[in-house]
Amino acid sequence: MHDIRYVTENQEAVKANLKKRNFDTKVVDDVIELNQKRKSLTTLVETKRAETKKISQEVGEIKKKGGDASVLMKQVADIKTQIESSEKELEDIQVKQVDLLSVIPNLIQDSVPVGSDENSNQEIKKWGVIKNFDFTPIDHATLGEKLGLLDFETATKITGARFTVYKGQLARLERALISFMIDRHTDNGYTEILPPFIVHERSLYGTGNLPKFKEDLFKLEGFDWYLIPTAEVPVTNLKREQIFEMSEFPLRYVAYTPCFRSEAGSAGRDTRGLIRQHQFNKVELVNIVAADQSKVAHEEMINRACSILEELELPYRAMVLCSGDMGFGSSRTIDLEVWLPSQNKYREISSISNCWDFQSRRAQIRYRNAEGKPEFAHTLNGSGLAVGRTLVAIMENYQNKDGTITIPKALRPYMKNQELIKS
């Protein structure tokens, strides 16, 4: 959500910023036009109320003297009818204005490269050595099926496409990854949260998922409830509609949850395997900080996610997303991409975003600044990491010629010191 005063006072700068996202800025013009109507109507209502008060006083004086005030009383009644009509129109305008503001994406930071799609993203870091196999590596889905530990066919029978049944050692490895990630993040000052996996519309509105991304969500029929697309939603909303003290900062949360996404618009993409599922596990990092702390917090979160990949010894690169490839609520995003041998390329495993005060305005998350005045906090979120995709990366990068998978050393304490996964 945007500050309407800022938009009206800086409309050309706002439109120039949004054009970098390839966003149609006519919405901004519509918002400003509605705001002018709102101001005019507000002035009209205030004027009419003052007029009503003045005439009512005259009516009182006439009645004290025993005179006939019926004409003035009729005038007061007519003005009140006009006020009611104007107030209803004003209410409609305010709703329309909020609706329009709700679909305008966040403004991007100056450091974000300008571009129309992922081809303009910029690499800022590369880590690890890509393994040279003495055999042709196979993809994780084939490997998991050969081991008898990933069952896509049964999942389809149970539920449908893009679901998976994990079995035995791979089910345990997924659980090990969750525990490993949570332990590493809590060891570094994050508070573990186990939130609800179902949220209502207000929570999704607060993080920017509604109204724009309704088609990507799973709604529970007959309820104002949705399955969460990410732990970002319930965790960010922990502070919704609150004003708290600066002494609480920084608020650093880590949460494991399953995530549920309809994957609308992804037909034909990554249809096989674990890359793009309707249900998947993720460990999410959320920071809520003072305005002057958010850039530092963003770098810290990026480093935290990188450290997980480095401890697992998985080659990756970090990419600054360009203006045309960024998420709706982000002002700056860094993607971490892990190397997948079967695809011979890097694939996204974490997206770490600074949302500035965009979400906090929608969710009314405020703190008292040094002067004791309420100020909107800055919110940040990022995967630390997507568990299923981490499992994919381990399976492919640690596969052996005989079809077994070597377990990374960092995970062995969570696997009863087991070194290999085999059928």
Contact yes or no for 62/72 (Cβ under 8 A): yes
Written as one string, the DSSP assignment of 245-294 is EGGG--EEEEEEEEEE---TT-TTSS-SSSSS-SEEEEEEEEEEE-GGGH
Contact yes or no for 246/368 (Cβ under 8 A): yes
Q: What is the DSSP letter of 45?
A: H
- What's residue 198's pLDDT? 98
* Domains delineated in the chain: 4-102 (1.10.287.40), 118-421 (3.30.930.10)
CA distance 334 to 326: 9
- What's residue 272's pLDDT? 85
Q: pLDDT tens digit string along 344-387?
A: 999 999 999 999 999 999 999 999 999 999 999 999 999 999 99
Q: Read off the pTM.
A: 0.91
CA distance 291 to 373: 13
Average pLDDT, the chain: 95
Place of tokens 């120039």: 16
- What's residue 219's pLDDT? 96
Instruction: Indicate the pLDDT class of residue 76, thresholds 50, 70 and 90.
Output: confident
Check pLDDT > 70 for residue 266. no
Supply the Cα-derived Rg of the chain in whole angstroms.
27
Check pLDDT > 70 for residue 264. no
Cα torsion 20, 24, 25, 26 to 10°: value is 170
CA distances from 365 to 1, 83, 206 (A): 12, 34, 9
- What's residue 164's pLDDT? 97
Q: pLDDT tens digit string along 302-334?
A: 999 999 999 999 999 999 999 999 999 999 999
Check pLDDT > 80 for residue 31. yes
Percent of the chain with pLDDT over 70: 98
Check pLDDT > 80 for residue 270. no
Residue 78, token pair as written in the block: 């007519």
Instruction: Indicate the pLDDT class of residue 1, thresholds 50, 70 and 90.
Output: confident
Residue 213, token pair as written in the block: 């991304």
Residue 367, token pair as written in the block: 């703190």
Check pLDDT > 70 for residue 273. yes
CA distances from 79 to 52, 56, 82, 84 (A): 7, 11, 5, 9
